[in-house]
Amino acid sequence: MSGPLYDRRWRARREQQLRDHPLCRLHMEVRGEVRAATVADHVTPHRNDPIKFEGPLQSLCAECHNSWKQAIENGGHVKGCDLNGMPLDPNHAWNK
């Protein structure tokens, strides 16, 4: 991470997020598994917009951030299903 938005203030915010929520949200809520979070992810993609950059965060593990979250942001499809058999992809027809 680099750029003007990822400054000392961001690093403190990231550390606070991971301290307050140390487990990966997706593993806990979707997969029913416990995994340590390592990424403070912006819930809404900010695309370097400073207003959106200040938006809410969620704690994710690197695997979920680099696969599931990136696939959603890039318009791809998320593979897999949750514990109830529902597709993980929020754009899947069954989730509408």
pLDDT at 67: 84
Q: Give domain limits for the chain.
A: 8-95
pLDDT at 78: 67
Nearest to 27 by CA among 56, 55, 63: 63
pLDDT at 81: 76
Please give the model's pTM, rounded to 2 decimal places. 0.72
Lowest mean pLDDT among 9-18, 19-28, 36-45, 70-79: 70-79
pLDDT in tens, 28-76: 988 889 999 999 999 888 878 888 889 999 999 999 999 877 877 776 6
Burial level of 72, CB count in 10 A (0-12/13-18/19+)? middle
Task: Report residue 72 as tokens.
Answer: 């959603």
Residues 6+ apart with CB under 8 A from 73: 45
